[in-house]
């Protein structure tokens, strides 16, 4: 009888679990970072990336980041939400000497180099804030 009462209390206190969104708790780290932009014609590598020779970078997909961030780490840059595609999510798929040395920030903060279309490079470089919060999934 006690089990039946406890079960009823548990079920009523939980509400309708089918309607509750289930989100896995993930470790997220919020980082103040310098954001820079690049396009496929800037160097000899073009849209090729360091993570895999089979992947080509495209706007709204990949970023170059410091080796402290493993390849395929998910990164969110909220100020870019809806600017390159429908969301603000990217994957770390590239490296580079400038992001590794943190050159654009004078060595002070991490640098995330975002791949953009060639015709949008000036717009992003001039109009978007240079520093912003970046959310990294761990």
Locate 24 and state its tokens. Answer: 């896995």
d(CA 94, CA 83): 20
pTM given for the model: 0.75
Q: For 92-138, how does the pLDDT look when each residue is reduced to its tens digit (9 = 90+)?
A: 988 888 888 999 999 999 999 998 888 888 998 899 999 999 999 98
The larger pLDDT score, comparing residue 66 to residue 48, is at 66
Q: For 9-48, how does the pLDDT look when each residue is reduced to its tens digit (9 = 90+)?
A: 444 444 443 433 344 557 899 999 999 998 776 655 555 5
**What pLDDT score was predicted for residue 47?**
57
The structural domains of the chain, ordered by start, are 22-137 (2.40.40)
**What pLDDT score was predicted for residue 115?**
87
């Amino acid at each position: 009888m006690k089990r039946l009462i406890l079960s009823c209390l548990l079920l009523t206190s939980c509400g309708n679990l089918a309607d509750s969104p289930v989100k896995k708790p993930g470790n997220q780290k919020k980082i103040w970072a310098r954001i820079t932009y690049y396009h496929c014609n800037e160097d000899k590598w073009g849209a090729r990336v360091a993570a895999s020779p089979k992947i080509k970078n495209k706007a709204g997909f990949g970023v170059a980041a410091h080796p402290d961030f493993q390849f395929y780490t998910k990164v969110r840059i909220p100020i870019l939400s809806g600017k390159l595609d429908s969301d603000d999510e990217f994957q770390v798929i590239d490296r580079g000497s400038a992001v590794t040395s943190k050159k654009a920030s004078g060595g002070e903060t991490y640098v995330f180099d975002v791949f953009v279309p060639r015709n949008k490079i000036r717009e992003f470089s001039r109009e978007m804030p240079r520093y912003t919060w970046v959310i990294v999934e761990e």
